Chains A and B, each alone.
Chain A
Amino acid sequence: KAGVTQTPRYLIKTRGQQVTLSCSPISGHRSVSWYQQTPGQGLQFLFEYFSETQRNKGNFPGRFSGRQFSNSRSEMNVSTLELGDSALYLCASSRHENTEAFFGQGTRLTVV
């Protein structure tokens, strides 16, 4: 059974640009959540989607957005990139909100 797949694995962008990251959850999983991991702040929750609806959002500016498609695949978008957005972005999928959450390998975003 395939795990959570995130693409791309690595990305370098320039300040002011925008970026789209993709996450394919484990088959049958309908909940997809996104996290940002940095040395300074640790792992922080961005948002969670279930059946194409955003159910929860963390304390991030509106530049961070996401969506989920009917096949449960999810994308997150960051607009007007800042140097501080450099981080490992992780996606987790779970069957329901109260079951195990499995993470992908993450997308390492570097903003220069």
Chain B
Amino acid sequence: GENVGLHLPTLSVQEGDNSIINCAYSNSASDYFIWYKQESGKGPQFIIDIRSNMDKRQGQRVTVLLNKTVKHLSLQIAATQPGDSAVYFCAENNEGSARQLTFGSGTQLTVLP
């Protein structure tokens, strides 16, 4: 069949507002999760990670929340800036199966001036 592009969810926020990006993961055995930011023409950039024995982790301006019951991750970005505009991916890893990250389809974040 025709190879169409992935339909990326999009999120537009005003500069200075908080952003929340959501991700549903697929494997209930996954126990390590990473959020990446990817700007056009660049490789994914590590933002923050969380292990399954935690439900919240905070970094600089970012917070990741993990809900294992419904297999859901979210990334919260405080005081969103124009430089935050990018595609954001969540990735899951089952630690028992070596390093194999399974990525979500990504969310395009656009920060409006």
B101-A92 in contact (CB<8A): yes
Number of A-B contacts (CB under 8 A): 74
Would you call the interface of chain A mostly helix, strand, loop, or mixed?
A: strand
Verify B98–A55 contact, CB threshold 8 A.
yes
B4's partner among A40, A50, A100 (CB-CB below 8 A) is: A40
Taking a contact as CB atoms under 8 Å apart, the answer to whether B32 and A103 are in contact is no
Which size bracket describes the interface of A in this complex?
A: 20 to 34
Report whether B93 and A98 are in contact in the complex, using a CB–CB cutoff of 8 Å.
Answer: yes
* Set of chain B residues within 8 Å of A103, measured between Cβ atoms: 36, 43-46
Count residues on chain B whose CB falls below 8 Å from chain A CBs: 27
Known: A48-B100, A101-B99. A39 touches B46 (CB 8 A): no
Question: Known: A42-B103, A43-B103, A50-B98. Is A101-B89 also a contact (CB below 8 A)?
Answer: no
Shortest distance between the CB of A83 and any CB in chain B (Å): 11
Out of B6, B43, B95, name the residue touching A97 (CB < 8 Å).
B95
Q: Are B103 and A40 in contact (CB under 8 A)?
A: no
Q: For A31, what are the chain B residues with a Cβ–Cβ distance below 8 Å? A: 98-99
Chain A residues 63-112 with CB under 8 Å of chain B are 84, 90, 92, 94, 97-98, 100-106
